[in-house]
Structure 1
Amino acid sequence: MREAKSQLSKLGEMAWSGEKIVIAKAGKPYLDLIPHKAERKERTPGRLKGQITMAPDFEVTPQEIIDGFEGR
């Protein structure tokens, strides 16, 4: 813990670069140092409405594909 206090900036940079940082107290794992990430925004249903289209034959499955799945 004492060593971590003196090297906190360095450990923070290491955490941001993806390294797993475990801080020990009395020789046992005590804290995990992880970078703070901004909270995700809530999803908005319908935000891509009108931008995605399906092919006219989207729901038509060729017989050979059906046969393959059914082991024929």
Structure 2
Amino acid sequence: MTIVTVHQAKTHLSKLIAAAERGEDVVIARGTKAAVRLIRYDAPVLVERSFGALKGQGAFDESFFDPLPDEELRLWNGEGD
């Protein structure tokens, strides 16, 4: 682990970034008290998405399209309990 002061960090920022990119721990301290840790940033892996990728993986019957009962419609409309 590398511990440097704020002044040293300002002076050698490029070298400290390179060290963090190599996986080294770099701690920047204010005086003798550790303040922050400089670490490598690993960008998230983006998954390729395509339209229709889940086609055929779900199912429902024709009753899905039936009108809702009056009581349930009232609840959906905020009328009642």
State the Cα distance separating 1:40 from its structure 2 match.
3.0
What residue ranges of structure 1 are gaps of 5+ in the alignment? Answer: 46-72
Structure-2-length-normalised TM-score: 0.48
Are 2:7 and 1:23 aligned?
A: no
- The alignment-based identity, stated in percent, is 36
How far apart in 2 are the matches of 1:13 and 1:23? 15
How far apart in 1 are the matches of 2:28 and 2:45? 27
Structure-1-length-normalised TM-score: 0.53
Are 2:17 and 1:12 aligned?
A: yes
What residue identity is the alignment partner of 2:33? K
Are 2:46 and 1:36 aligned?
A: no
Q: Which of the two has higher C-alpha Rg?
A: 2
Q: Could you list the per-position Cα deviations for residues 17-67 of structure 1 after superposition, in whole angstroms to 9, with x for gaps in the alignment?
A: 11110110121100100122112335x88xxxxxxxxxxxxxxxxxxxxxx
Q: Which residue in the other structure is 2:66 paired with?
A: none
State the Cα distance separating 1:4 from its structure 2 match.
0.5
What residue identity is the alignment partner of 1:3? Q
How far apart in 1 are the matches of 2:40 and 2:23? 9
The alignment partner of 1:40 has SS state of coil
